Structure 1
Amino acid sequence: MIRNTFAILWVAVIVLFGSMLFYYLEFSIVNSVRKKDSPSAVYDLSDFNFDKNNVVALSGGAYFYKDTLLNPADSAFEALTPTGYSIISKKWNHFLGDSKLSVGHGYGTFAFKIRVPKPGMYAIKANDIKSSYKIFINGTDMGGSGVVGKSAETMKPSRYQMEYYFYAATKTIDVLIQVSNFQNRKGGLTGLIHFGSSRAIALQKTKQVGIELFIVGSLFILFIYHLVLYAFRRRDKSTLYFSMLCLIMFLRLGYIGEKIFLDTFSFLGWYVSLKTEYISFFGIPVFTALFLRELFPKELSKQVVKATTITSIGFVVLILSLSPTAFSYLPIISLFPFGILAVYLLAVIFIAMLRGREFAKPMFVGFFVYFLLSLHDALYYAKIINSVNLMPLGLFVATFSQAYVLARKSSSAYLRAEKLSDKLSEYAHNLEDIVRSRTKEIESQKHELEHNAKALKENNKELVRLVNFKQNMTNMMIHDLKAPLNSIVGFAELSADNNEYSKYILNSGWEMENLIQNILDVDRYESTEFKTNKTETNLHKLVNYAYENVYFIITGNKIDFINQVPADIDMSIDKHAIYRLFTNIFSNAVKYGGKNITLKVDAEMVSDESGDYIKISIYNSGNSIAPDKINRVFNQYDSNSDELKDLSYSSGIGLTFCKLAVDAHGGSIDVESGKNKGVTFWFTIPL
C-alpha cells in the first residue's frame, strides 16, 4: 500500500516536471529567432503569427554606440556611426581593448529595429541587463531599471526583470537601450530580450512567476517542516542538513530567474540581494555533501565533506570582503572544483546504489537531473549557449528526491515503531498469562515456604534448646570437675616434698585445671564479647608471677628463665587475661620445648601509623614448629597426635585463648620459628 502511494507520487512529480520543462523549452528554443549578423540590425518578424501567444527570443545583433547615452530626440543620432555590432545576450567586454569595457565597466547605447506583421499591442521583456538601463520604444521613454549614468557615482544599479507594454502604430518598431555598468565584470545586454504580443508576454511572466513561487513555497515549507522535525529528534542530523539546504535553495531561487524576492524584500537593496545570491550559490555544495554523508557514511569520505566546507567558507569570506566586480568572478573560478565535487557525489550515490543501500536510487535520480540542469545553466551563464535558467527545475527534482528519502525514512521508522508496538502489545498480553501462571506458582511456593519456615522454626527452637543444654552441661561439668581437682592439687602440694609421685599428680592436676579454665574461657568469649577489666599493672611483676605459677610443673627440666621486661613498665590491662596468656605460652614452652631450654621475655616500645604499642616477645630455645603447622597454631583444637614425633609445636585451646585476649586489648599476636632457631611468640598491646 505504501509503495503504491509513493509510486503514484513519483508519477505526479514526473508529470509536473515534464510540464514545466516543456513550458521552459517552448519559449526558449521553439520560438527563438536568431537574426543573422547584418549591418541593418533589423529583426524581420513580419511573417510571424503573434495571435498564438508565441514569444520570440531576440538573439541576433544590435548597433552599439560606446561612451554615449543617445536619446531618440538627438538630431545627430541618425548621422552617428556605431562603434560596433553587438550580439544580444553577449557581454560587451570584447569590444575595445583600450577601454574600460575590457573589464565590463562603462556605458553606451544599443539600437535595433523590429518589423511586425501589423500594428497593435506588443511588449518587450528585458532579462539580466548589467547593471542599469533605460529603454526607448519608437521615441517614447518606457522607463528602465536603476539609474543610467556615466560614472559609478552618477549611476544606480538595479536587478529588476521588467516588461514594457506599448502600442505600435506602424509595422516598424525602433528600440533604443541606454546601458551603464560599473559594478560587474561583464556589462551590456547580457540577457535575452523577449518580444511578443502584450498578452503573450504577460502570460509568459505569469507562468514563470507561478512556477518559481510554487518551487520557492515548497522549499520554504520543507525547510520549516524538517527543521521542526530535527528539533524533536536531534539524533538524526540529516533532517537538519536537508532543512538548511532547502533554506539555501529558497534564498537562491528567489534572486535568480524572475527575481521575485527583489519586490518582496525591496528594503534589502541591490548590494545585499546580490551578495545573498552569490553566498547561496556556495552554500548548496556544503549542505548537499553533509546531507549525503549522513545517508551514505561508508561511501562518502569525511575528508571530502570537510574540504568542501572549508572551500565554500573561503568563497563566502571573499564575497563579504570583495567588491561586486571582484566576487562576480568567483562562480566561474568555482566551476572546476564544484564540478568535480558534483561528479564525485554522483559516483558516491551510484556506488551506494550498486551496494544496495537504502534510498540510493531516488537520490541518484534527483541528483542526476539536478547535475544535468546545473551543467546547462553553467553553460548558459557563461554565454556558451542561449537558453533559459533551468536550475529551478533541477532544484525541484533534487529537493523532491531528498524529501522523498526523508519521508521514506520517517515512514520506515513509524512502521518499525508500529510493529514494535504490536509486538509489545502481544508481549503484554502474553505477559499477563505468564504473570498469572507465575503468580500461581509463587503462591504454591509461598505455601511450601511457609510450611518449610514453620518446620525450620521448630528445628531452630530445638537446636537452640540443645545448644543451651550443651552449654549448661559444659559449665556444670567444668565447675563440678574444678572442685575435686582443687582438692587433688591441694593434697598433692602437701606431700610433694616427700613423695616423687605426688609431684606428677600435682603437675597433671594443674594442667587439667588449666585446660578446663581455657575451655571455659574460650567457650564464653566466643559466644559473647570479650570485655576486659583493665587495671594498672606492673608488667615485670606479672611475668614473674606467671612463671612462678608454672615453675612447679617442671619435672627434671633445666629452664633458664630470663625476664628482661623493664621494671618500670606499668600498663592498663586486664591482669587476669594477660596472666593467663603468659601461663599458657610458658606451659607450652616447658612441655614441648625440650629438657634444657632458655625462656626469655622482653618488651619494647614500637610505633606505626595507628599509634604506639608495647611489643612483648617470649622466646624459648627449644624445638621449632614445623613450617606446615606454623600458620595454624592459634586455631581452636588444632593439634596432631604425631606432634612429638615430628617435633611440631602443639597449640591447642590455650593459644586460642591467647589470641582472644590480645584481640580484646586491640593488639595483635603471632609466632616466629625456624630450624634450630627455637620459637618466639610476640604480641602487642596499644598504649
Structure 2
Amino acid sequence: MRTLVVMFLVWVVMLTGCSKEESIPRVNKGEVDFSEFSLSSTNHSYMLSGDWLFAPDTLVDPEQSWPEASAEYLTVPKSWEFVPYLNGKEWGREFGTYRLQIRLHPDDVGKTLGLKISPIASSFRMWIDGRLLKEVGAVGTTVSTAVPHESQEYVFFTPQSSKLQMDIQVSNFAQRKGGIWNDIYMGDQEAIRAKSLPPVVRDCMSAGALLMMGLFYLVFASLYITDRSTLFLGLLSISLGLRTFLFGEVLVTFFFPDLLWEWKVKLEYFIEIAAILALNQYLRSIFPEHFSKNVLRFTYMIFGLFALFVLFTPAIIFTQCLTTFTVMITCSLLYSSFLVYARAVKHRRLGARSGAIAGIIAFFAVLSDSFYYLSIPLTSEGLINTGFFIYLLTQMAVTVRRYISLKQDSAALTMRLAESNEELEHKVMQRTRQLTESYRFNSRLLHNIVHDLNAPIALIRQQTKLLQVHVQKDGINHLTLIEQQSEWAVRLAQNLNDLARLQENKMNFQPSSMSMEEMLRFLYKRTEPIIRGGGFKWSHKALDELFEAVTLVVNIDLFLMERVFDNITSNMLKYALPDGNVSLSYAKRETVLEIIFENEVASLSDETLDRMFDRFYQQGPEEGGSGIGLAVCKEIVRLHGGQIHVDQPEKERLQVVISLPIMR
C-alpha cells in the first residue's frame, strides 16, 4: 500500500512539473482578446488555445478573401487525424489555413512581442498583418511540392495597431499527425526569450547526464567483462540520452539543422527500439531465472521486424502504426516492470524492490509520453527522461551495492584461500621433509647394498680365475659364464652407486679439457674390442675433419664418460640383430659435437623410443637388464651440459646421439 501511495505522489509531482501555462484568455470563434491587460508589462506568456478559423484543403494568402463557404472553426492544439470531417463532409487532411484575430491593449502597440511555436506537422508559413515572419519547411499542395521540417521556433514582432491578424498555412504529406497539434504561446519578448533558453539547457543537461551515466556504465563493464549487465545499462542510458536530442525542444534540429526530417523521425523510432531491447537485455542479465529467454527472443523478433518496417517505409506509412508501436512498448514494459520484478521481489533478489518501484515509475512515464503523442487527455510529454533517470539512479545504486557485495565476497574468499594455502604449504613442507628423509634413507640403503655386494662379487671373480687353472676343459664354459654374470653384477652395482650419488648431487664430477680428436680416438679404441668380441661388424668415421688449425676442445670427465660409452655400447649390442653392423660417427654443428652410435635392430615401439632413458624402464621382462644404465648415462651427459636422445631414422636402424658443447 505504501508503495502505491509513493507512486501516486511521484506521478502527481511529475504531472505538476510539466503542467501547461495559463491559457486565459481563450480563443473563441477565431478571436482572442488581450485588451484588458498589457502583454508587455505582465512578463507572462499565454497559450493561444481554442477555436481558430480554419479553411480546409486551401492555402489562403493574407491578402486573399477568406472562403466563408468552406471555412470552419478548428480546435488548436489538435491533430488533423482526429478531425476527419468538416462542415459535414470528409476532407483531405493534407493542407489548410488557420486564421486568428488578436486584440491587444493600447500599451502593447509599438512594443516587441514574441511567439513560441512548438513543432507543427509538418511544414508551415506564418504571417502577421500580411507580413511573412516565419517559414519552416516548404508548404505545398502535393507531395512533390511540400518539404517536411519540424523545429521549435521563436518569433518576435512589433505590432503597429491594437488589432492583428495571424495567418498560418500548414501542409502535411509526411506523417500521421497534421496541423497545429502543439502549443503556441504569445507574450512579452522577455517572457518568450525566458522560455527559449531553459528548455534547451534542460535538455542539454538531461542528455549530458544520461550520456555520462552511460559512459560510467560502459567503463564499469570494460573493467568487469564477465558482468554484462552494466554494458546493457550503459546502452540504455546512451539511448535515452540520444533520444533527448530528438524530442522535447528538438536539440538535433538546433545543432544539426540540415538533417532530413524523415531520417530524424526514423532515428527516433530506432533509438526507442534500442532502448527497449537494452532494458530487456539488462533485466535478463541480472534476473536470468526470472526473465524468460523465449520472451527475450520474441521481443527481438517483433521489434526487429518493426525496425525493418520503419527503415523501408516512408514516415507517412510507419507513423500510422504509432498505436501498434505504443502497444508493443507497453506490453514489453508490463512484462519487465511488473512480472519480472515481482518474481525477483518474491525471491528477495538484490535491488529488486527499489528496481520495481523505479521501474513502475518509468513505465507510467513512458505511458504518459506515448499517450501524449496519441493526443490522449491528461497526459504530458517530457516525463520519460525523468522516469528513466530515476530508474537509472536506482540501478546505479544497485550496481554499486552489487560491486561492494562482490568485493566483500572476494575478500572473504581471498582470506579463506590464504588460510587454505597456508595449511597446504604446511602439509607440503611436512610431506617434503618426510620424503627427503625417506629419500636419504633409501640412498644410504642403496650405498650399503652396493658396498655389501662389491665384496662377495670381487671374491667370486677372483676365485673363478683361480679355478680356471684346475678345472678341466668342459668346466671352463661354466666358469666363463660365472665370470660374465659377475661382471654384469659389478656393472649393476656401479650403476646403482652412480644413481644414488646423482640423486644426492654428490657425484664426483671432475671435468678437464680434452681435444675432440683425442676423445674420439679413446672412444674408438674403447668400443671396438667390445663390439668385435660380441660377433658384430664394426665401422667408424675417419677423424680427418678434425684436423684444423685451431684445436677443438671439449670439457669432460673421462672416467664418467667411459661409463657412458660402456653402457651405451652394451645396450646397443643387446638390441642389435645377429651379425649386424655397429658404427660410430660424429658431426660438428656450430658449438656442439654430436657422437652417434648406430646399429641394425628390430623395429622398436614408440613407447620404447620415448622411455628408453627413463629409470627402471625395460621393454619387456624377457629383455633382461635393470633399466638403470641408460638413465645414469642421461644424468652424466646432463652434468657435462649436453643432451642424449635416441632416434630410428629407418625401420631397422637405431641411433643414439650424444651432444656435447665445444670449447675453443
With the length of structure 1 as denominator, give the TM-score of the two structures.
Answer: 0.62
Give the SS at the match of 2:263: helix
The amino acid that maps onto 1:402 is Q
The amino acid that maps onto 1:403 is M
- Determine whether 1:175 maps to 2:166: yes
Give the SS at the match of 2:340: helix
Q: Is the CA contact (8 Å cut-off) linking 1:252 and 1:281 kept in structure 2?
A: yes
**How far off its partner does 1:131 sit?**
0.9
**How far off its partner does 1:268 sit?**
2.4
User: In the alignment, what sits opposite 1:400?
Assistant: 393
**How far off its partner does 1:253 sit?**
1.4
The amino acid that maps onto 2:394 is S
Match of 2:278 among 287, 302, 305: 287
**How far off its partner does 1:375 sit?**
0.9
For 2:91 and 2:310, locate their aligned partners in 1 and report how far apart those are by CA, in whole Å: 18
User: In the alignment, what sits opposite 1:231?
Assistant: 222
Match of 2:75 among 81, 87, 92: 87
The amino acid that maps onto 2:454 is N
Deviations 1:287-315 (A, max 9, x none): 11111111111111222222222322222
For 1:160 and 1:458, locate their aligned partners in 2 and report how far apart those are by CA, in whole Å: 98
Match of 1:186 among 170, 177, 189: 177
**How far off its partner does 1:177 sit?**
1.1
The amino acid that maps onto 2:392 is T
Deviations 1:111-142 (A, max 9, x none): 23345666425433222311111122344332
User: In the alignment, what sits opposite 2:457?
Assistant: 471
Match of 2:55 among 60, 65, 68: 65
Structure 1 residues 16 and 410: CA distance shift in structure 2, 3 A: farther
Structure 1 residues 257 and 524: CA distance shift in structure 2, 3 A: same
Q: Is the CA contact (8 Å cut-off) linking 1:91 and 1:190 kept in structure 2?
A: yes
The amino acid that maps onto 2:396 is A
Worse-matched range after superposition: 232-241 or 332-341? 232-241
The amino acid that maps onto 1:333 is T
Give the SS at the match of 1:187: coil
User: In the alignment, what sits opposite 1:377?
Assistant: 369
Give the SS at the match of 1:268: coil
**How far off its partner does 1:372 sit?**
0.3
The amino acid that maps onto 1:41 is G
Give the SS at the match of 1:267: coil
User: In the alignment, what sits opposite 2:540?
Assistant: none
For 2:462 and 2:91, locate their aligned partners in 1 and report how far apart those are by CA, in whole Å: 126
For 2:25 and 2:411, locate their aligned partners in 1 and report how far apart those are by CA, in whole Å: 62
Structure 1 residues 44 and 369: CA distance shift in structure 2, 3 A: farther
User: In the alignment, what sits opposite 1:582?
Assistant: none
Q: Is the CA contact (8 Å cut-off) linking 1:64 and 1:85 kept in structure 2?
A: yes
Alignment of 1:47-62 (within 5 A): 53-62=43-52
For 1:57 and 1:378, locate their aligned partners in 2 and report how far apart those are by CA, in whole Å: 23
For 1:231 and 1:49, locate their aligned partners in 2 and report how far apart those are by CA, in whole Å: 60
**How far off its partner does 1:183 sit?**
1.3
Give the SS at the match of 1:65: strand
Deviations 1:296-338 (A, max 9, x none): 1111122222222232222222222111211212332222222
Q: Is the CA contact (8 Å cut-off) linking 2:57 and 2:93 kept in structure 1?
A: no
Gaps of 5+ in 2: 1-5, 493-529, 537-576, 581-600, 606-619, 628-651, 654-664
Structure 1 residues 17 and 334: CA distance shift in structure 2, 3 A: closer
User: In the alignment, what sits opposite 1:351?
Assistant: 343
For 2:399 and 2:579, locate their aligned partners in 1 and report how far apart those are by CA, in whole Å: 85
Worse-matched range after superposition: 52-61 or 190-199? 52-61
The amino acid that maps onto 2:356 is F
Deviations 1:34-88 (A, max 9, x none): 959x6x23345666896665544444222210222222222x23x6334322221
Structure 1 residues 660 and 178: CA distance shift in structure 2, 3 A: closer
Q: Is the CA contact (8 Å cut-off) linking 1:94 and 1:102 kept in structure 2?
A: no
User: In the alignment, what sits opposite 1:106?
Assistant: 94
Deviations 1:407-459 (A, max 9, x none): 444454556667778999x979x97x999x9999999999x969x96x98887
Worse-matched range after superposition: 286-295 or 157-166? 157-166
Match of 1:131 among 122, 128, 149: 122
For 1:210 and 1:15, locate their aligned partners in 2 and report how far apart those are by CA, in whole Å: 27
Q: Is the CA contact (8 Å cut-off) linking 2:122 and 2:170 kept in structure 1?
A: yes
Q: Is the CA contact (8 Å cut-off) linking 1:63 and 1:82 kept in structure 2?
A: no
**How far off its partner does 1:259 sit?**
0.3
Structure 1 residues 518 and 150: CA distance shift in structure 2, 3 A: same
For 1:410 and 1:374, locate their aligned partners in 2 and report how far apart those are by CA, in whole Å: 29
Give the SS at the match of 1:144: strand
Match of 1:268 among 250, 259, 273: 259
Q: Is the CA contact (8 Å cut-off) linking 1:119 and 1:169 kept in structure 2?
A: no
Give the SS at the match of 1:266: coil
Alignment of 1:55-454 (within 5 A): 55-74=45-64, 76-77=65-66, 80-93=68-81, 95=83, 106-115=94-103, 119-120=107-108, 122-168=113-159, 172-346=163-337, 347-385=339-377, 387-389=379-381, 390-413=383-406
Deviations 1:269-295 (A, max 9, x none): 323322222221222111111111111
The amino acid that maps onto 2:18 is Y
User: In the alignment, what sits opposite 1:23?
Assistant: 17
**How far off its partner does 1:267 sit?**
3.3
For 1:94 and 1:163, locate their aligned partners in 2 and report how far apart those are by CA, in whole Å: 27
Deviations 1:336-366 (A, max 9, x none): 2221111000121232122111122332232
For 1:280 and 1:408, locate their aligned partners in 2 and report how far apart those are by CA, in whole Å: 29
User: In the alignment, what sits opposite 2:501?
Assistant: none
Give the SS at the match of 1:72: coil
Q: Is the CA contact (8 Å cut-off) linking 1:86 and 1:92 kept in structure 2?
A: no
For 1:387 and 1:54, locate their aligned partners in 2 and report how far apart those are by CA, in whole Å: 24
Deviations 1:470-494 (A, max 9, x none): 10222334445565553xxx8xxxx
Deviations 1:603-631 (A, max 9, x none): xxxx99779xxxxxxxxxxxxxxxxxxxx
Structure 1 residues 199 and 15: CA distance shift in structure 2, 3 A: farther
Alignment of 1:457-536 (within 5 A): 463-480=449-466, 486=472, 519-528=482-491, 533-535=533-535
Q: Is the CA contact (8 Å cut-off) linking 2:290 and 2:340 kept in structure 1?
A: yes
Q: Is the CA contact (8 Å cut-off) linking 1:144 and 1:162 kept in structure 2?
A: no
The amino acid that maps onto 1:366 is A
Q: Is the CA contact (8 Å cut-off) linking 1:92 and 1:104 kept in structure 2?
A: no
Give the SS at the match of 1:178: strand
Deviations 1:372-399 (A, max 9, x none): 0111122211112265312232232233
Worse-matched range after superposition: 361-370 or 409-418? 409-418
Aligned length: 505
Gaps of 5+ in 1: 1-10, 491-509, 537-570, 575-606, 612-633, 636-655, 664-685
